[in-house]
Structure 1
């Protein structure tokens, strides 16, 4: 299929949990790596982006899973730019197992930003070639994840962002937010649930040294809701985990 980028990856032992399933955070990291590969092969390498003071900011992920990849399994990640909607860029993913069966798919939203001014730029500001693929679509533009006021949340735990979680921008890496949610689950939940989906919107960047209070809900009709916020109430993210 034209304008589609494909990467293969063997799931290693350091990427799995104690059930031998790929960690959700690692799957999101692999998706982000594939997105980077797609953009870079069209000309917008990291060094070139930095030279223009540009960066990509992931704003929303809506992931649906038939199952999570397993240890020692080779998966194939296919991704493509689906065009733009207003200031945001649409990118879809399909993930296949070794038998070419689709095991997960996702719709994502990205923003092009001026990394010095921390300002979202319009797509016309992107100086490199980037092709769109309109031949395939995982689904409509994903909605922002907004937790209803009717959902009762309670504090699960709190952390301070340190070296192990930050990226080259000294912000909490996108994929690590999934770990914050998974760490809020109880041992019985981790032993029994299967991940069927993950929907997250990144509301505010979290810098190294900042404090995050992680809130969660009880299981509600197959969903568990999460919010990360500062002690002062600034919202960092809102997410929900669809489980079976």
Structure 2
């Protein structure tokens, strides 16, 4: 078995929703934390990256769930770098319960960027050694989500990026985009929805003070599509939520 990193986490009361399930955004945050810890453990700390005007940009997440973790449940998040394909860095996640049974998994893609010039860098530009594990894979490279033209989207609401959602770069944190999607669901949908999967592609960073219009589709074959865009039509993200039957 190749190199992997595992972190454990207890689901706390401030991390759950009205059904005592872990919020989707919290699950994505925990995955991001595990990835950050893995990279930092190999020498690429945030301070080192900032000093070199480098940063990681998440491009696509494809998450599949047997079930969502619940309140007071101890979970294990295992992650590993699968190497690169072109400019993409590939990373998988496996989430297990206290009995080491897999309850969720995800394939993700990232790019290394020059934080000043705002351009994508080749993997060879990364100045630290990073361990790869190409022996284990939970799925193929996640394709960018493509919402077909025939999928009808209607506006659900609009929000302004404020302090509560930003990261250290002044951008809306990656995990918070899941909240934007879940906030577009009705009370009845939230009460009756069990998440089977979530896929999101990030197109453009949302900065402090910018307005995002959240669009969604009706439920079609167990799927709801989402889009976040500026008043001028610039796309911030496309996403879809897969519901259990």
Which TM-score band (shorter chain)? over 0.9
Q: CA deviation at 1:2?
A: 3.1
Q: Which residue of 1 aligns with 2:69?
A: 69
Gaps of 5+ in 2: none
Residue 135 (structure 1) shift? 1.5
Deviation track 1:49-76 (CA, whole Å, cap 9, x = no partner) reads 1111110000000000000000000000
Query: Deviations 1:194-223 (Å, cap 9, x if unpaired)?
Result: 000000000000000000000000000010
Q: Secondary structure at the match of 2:242?
A: strand
Whole-angstrom distance in 2 between the partners of 1:66 and 1:153: 28
5 Å-filtered alignment, 1:81-120, equals 81-120=81-120
Equivalences for residues 1-244 of structure 1 within 5 A: 1-244=1-244
Q: Distance in 2 between matches of 1:29 and 1:149?
A: 31
Report the Cα distance in structure 2 between the residues aligned to 1:19 and 1:224, rounded to whole angstroms. Answer: 20
What's the secondary structure of 1:212's corresponding residue? Answer: strand
Higher mean Cα deviation, 2-11 or 27-36?
2-11
Q: Cα distance, 1:3 vs. partner?
A: 1.2
Q: Distance in 2 between matches of 1:222 and 1:38?
A: 35
What is the deviation of 1:134?
A: 1.1
Deviation at residue 83 of structure 1 after TM alignment: 0.4
Structure 1 runs of 4+ aligned residues shifted over 6 Å read none
Superposition CA RMSD, Å:
0.6
Alpha-carbon shift at residue 146 of structure 1 (Å): 1.2
Q: Could you tell me how far apart the structure 2 residues matched to 1:66 and 1:52 are?
A: 40
| C-alpha distance in structure 2 between counterparts of 1:9 and 1:135, whole Å | 26
Shift of 1:128: 0.3
Alignment partners' CA distance in 1, 2:118 and 2:172: 16
- Report the Cα offset of residue 84 of structure 1: 0.4
Output the TM-score relative to the length of structure 2: 0.99
SS of equivalent to 2:112: strand
**Cα distance in 1 between the residues matched to 2:53 and 2:149:** 38
Is the partner of 2:137 in helix, strand or coil? coil
Cα deviations across residues 135-154 of structure 1 (Å, max 9, x unaligned)? 21000000101100010000
Q: Name the CA distance, whole Å, in 1 between partners of 2:237 and 2:6.
A: 29
